[in-house]
Structure 1
């Protein structure tokens, strides 16, 4: 894979006590980056650690590049499947477009677009975290989190006794879309509504598919196979070293009474045959219909849309939420895990530069300063060669209202894309397909000019080319010396530079940096 060079990690001048709530990918990835930065990290995971997850993670170049930077390229090479092209089809199998990930394109990005089994990704991160020295505690169910004391209290043990309380310099909430840490950060429970989107996933051993001549081509390369049906998106890819074919089905406009029987998170204990969901596949491609008999253990998750958070840091700037605790996206989207890995790398890269504990609020303010623009994404004019109406939003502002709009765009990114990929038959659907066909008509990569390149990839290029490590480096080059000169060390106040304004009052911490 391109971009396997690993940079030796920077280590902090002071070692913090860090407690991470949640042992999923977000929690373990964040724990790993903070531990390798020189801190003492404990992860609290409520399960016993024996569960195996299902499904696929799509790792675009922006995510793969970070994993390579962490030194995980050799582990990825054993199980991840490189994607050479996206293949878009009508429901009946008619080819709409082929979007190639040309070698020159991948080389410029210094990382591949790959498919990874969720279980494999989690195992790779667990092994790396444990090797780095992270303490992972299973069966550690968190009852409450306190920002004033910077502590986490566990549920009382089954045999009775006092509940255990853990104190820390920093608490990270990585406990998913139903986060209890978020409640402490925001000050109240953040509820949401089910918006009609349902995601399904199932994995099929490729040894079963290779026996059929129609299904065999799906097992022979790493293509992303996509069928764009009305209100239904059906797509699949190889994972687990090509031993499995992972399928995701995205549905929209699902009735509320149907959604009520499913949860927001993937419940691996509840599986269904594909017939349970009542999808009419009668007019679909023969390859899709031949896959249906293998789809006996489908898992489901609904999308719950919540209000956009104004901040991911608590009022006293000692607790931060990351991943889907901070910005839950539509389940099984393209950038869900990538954004989570970016959160982890940004936090770790910043806290690798901390010099003393008094800088924690400022580091968290810097984290938000860096991540808020990422949540906003690029200007919402196009999304992955799909038609989206131009937006009127323009110049940046530091007001909370604008920050809210910016976050809203990021969290809606996958939702809008899912909507465009499940358009009902009609004018918008035809315009979408026309754009996709023009992509394939471009032909030879060597003769593609800048205009055609932008039409092909749109703003997705800004997602692919983003590198959290470089963003922190750039930020630190600009503001690091000022930050270091405006700190309190061991309780002794150091004069604040007139070029730096720091505010941790009136709600979550904020850093406003300006040169006079």
Structure 2
């Protein structure tokens, strides 16, 4: 367990998804009181937790450190390789294997699992750690002035700190920033997230080949303004299928749709020209979730003017939908926040720690967002000379028996990924405390000591005069 603070305080976390539950675990690990408010019921949340999620090493190592390696391994598959194909034709371009040396250096693994499986692991861990989670609790307003939240029932809940882990179009974000940053951003693509039953795939000779390949292989299709990826998930006999496609015609609604009610035929029509395996998988797929893919500008203020309310995860730094690092950034945020508040001694530090949290996370998250945007462009590069050069470089590497991500533009993408995955959120928070936090506390104590000495001297002078 982490070190316990001298002072424990109460946190209200708005949002019971990955970000909110990870916050609850991180803060309970250091002894603080945590209440998580989730607007949807457990059944609704499970229904909305569509499709698969990929956990890169930078987040799996945090979760392992929190004691969740066993539960995670029960519901996940460890990825070892990636196959790259052409979206329109199915042409095999090459493969890439995660280098064992790189994975050892990162301290984690690539895990594939169902989104609902991850949420269930985090939920059970948060409850076991002593957090309270209230489902069906709709927050209608928040304030950092005498921090409190108001529910739709009229109930008001007080806290020392309010955390906005309520995703894009966050209510807490709007209270801090004054507007809905995500809603105002334009979009050009849609992301569909769905699953395909393994039994149905094995019944088709062409799709059955996916099960004859090593179980840990992820498949990525590079297309003209489109892309797809598919991978087996642990815990269920299903394949996850992610699709990125252009937005639909004007006049048709492209609103986010999580909880069912989406026409499968719509997703199939969005495929455009694509290879037969993808067509077959979408015909067998479950009802998908649909999300707008937006490139959101950085949010300047994560902390409110009172220094008692903060946003994190997608509320603070939205990534393009379907990003590899989407869930990872939320858990990293939680890990850093927990580490900072493990040093709490008095309430005057709360604002300092919340601003330190933004300082620590801002550049890291901006870098990740930029990399994910570059990855998305790389996967959906429009047809033309640059796309042809990309494909030709990878074909040449395959012909030489090398990984497709060795040399050239693809290599740059992989090098960036290695840097991202080697990051250790908790170490960064520890370094801040040693290099800055302790210095501030010592300077503050010296100031208090000097003030006390001056007061003692004044009192002595007054006594002499008397």
- Shared fold, TM over 0.5: yes
Q: Does structure 1 residue 201 correspond to structure 2 residue 203?
A: no
* Residues 124, 308 of structure 1: alpha-carbon distance in 2 compared, 3 angstrom cutoff: same
* TM-score normalised by length of structure 1: 0.80
Q: Does structure 1 residue 310 correspond to structure 2 residue 296?
A: no
Q: Distance in 1 between matches of 2:229 and 2:392?
A: 20
* TM-score normalised by length of structure 2: 0.88
Q: In the alignment, which of 117, 130, 135 is matched to residue 133 of structure 1?
A: 130
- Greater share of residues in helix: 2
Which residue does the alignment assign to 2:230?
A: 236
**Alpha-carbon distance, 1:189 to partner:** 4.1
Q: Distance in 2 between matches of 1:34 and 1:418?
A: 33
Contact 1:96 1:437 in 2 (8 A): yes
* Residues 172, 347 of structure 1: alpha-carbon distance in 2 compared, 3 angstrom cutoff: same
Q: Distance in 2 between matches of 1:45 and 1:476?
A: 32
Q: Distance in 2 between matches of 1:192 and 1:424?
A: 26
Which residue does the alignment assign to 1:152?
A: 149
Contact 2:80 2:217 in 1 (8 A): yes
Which residue does the alignment assign to 2:275?
A: 285
Q: Which runs of 5+ in 1 are unaligned?
A: 1-7, 157-162, 378-409, 497-516
Which residue does the alignment assign to 1:434?
A: 392
**Alpha-carbon distance, 1:22 to partner:** 0.7
Deviations 1:348-390 (A, max 9, x none): 111112122110111112111210120232xxxxxxxxxxxxx
Q: Does structure 1 residue 67 correspond to structure 2 residue 63?
A: yes
Which residue does the alignment assign to 1:476?
A: 433
Which residue does the alignment assign to 1:165?
A: 156
Q: Distance in 1 between matches of 2:348 and 2:23?
A: 21
Q: Distance in 1 between matches of 2:357 and 2:429?
A: 9
* Residues 487, 152 of structure 1: alpha-carbon distance in 2 compared, 3 angstrom cutoff: farther
Secondary structure of the 1:458 match is helix
Which residue does the alignment assign to 1:269?
A: 260
Contact 1:236 1:247 in 2 (8 A): yes
**Alpha-carbon distance, 1:439 to partner:** 5.2
Q: Distance in 2 between matches of 1:14 and 1:439?
A: 57
Secondary structure of the 1:204 match is strand
Secondary structure of the 1:241 match is coil
Q: Distance in 2 between matches of 1:335 and 1:183?
A: 24
**Alpha-carbon distance, 1:202 to partner:** 1.3
Q: Does structure 1 residue 210 correspond to structure 2 residue 212?
A: no
Q: Does structure 1 residue 109 correspond to structure 2 residue 106?
A: yes
Q: Distance in 2 between matches of 1:345 and 1:119?
A: 21
For the aligned residues, what is the CA RMSD? 2.6
Q: Distance in 2 between matches of 1:434 and 1:276?
A: 30
Contact 2:192 2:243 in 1 (8 A): yes
Which of the pair has the greater relative contact order for Cα pairs under 8 Å at 6+ separation?
2
Match runs of 1:252-267 below 5 Å: 252=246, 254-258=248-252, 260-263=253-256, 266-267=257-258
Q: Which runs of 5+ in 2 are unaligned?
A: 452-466
Q: How many equivalent pairs are there?
A: 443
Deviations 1:404-438 (A, max 9, x none): xxxxxx43432332222112221111122234345
Q: In the alignment, which of 347, 350, 374 is matched to residue 364 of structure 2?
A: 374
Deviations 1:162-196 (A, max 9, x none): x1111111110011101110112123443413311
* Residues 440, 106 of structure 1: alpha-carbon distance in 2 compared, 3 angstrom cutoff: farther
**Alpha-carbon distance, 1:254 to partner:** 4.0
Secondary structure of the 1:38 match is coil
* Residues 261, 487 of structure 1: alpha-carbon distance in 2 compared, 3 angstrom cutoff: same
**Alpha-carbon distance, 1:304 to partner:** 4.2
Secondary structure of the 1:140 match is coil
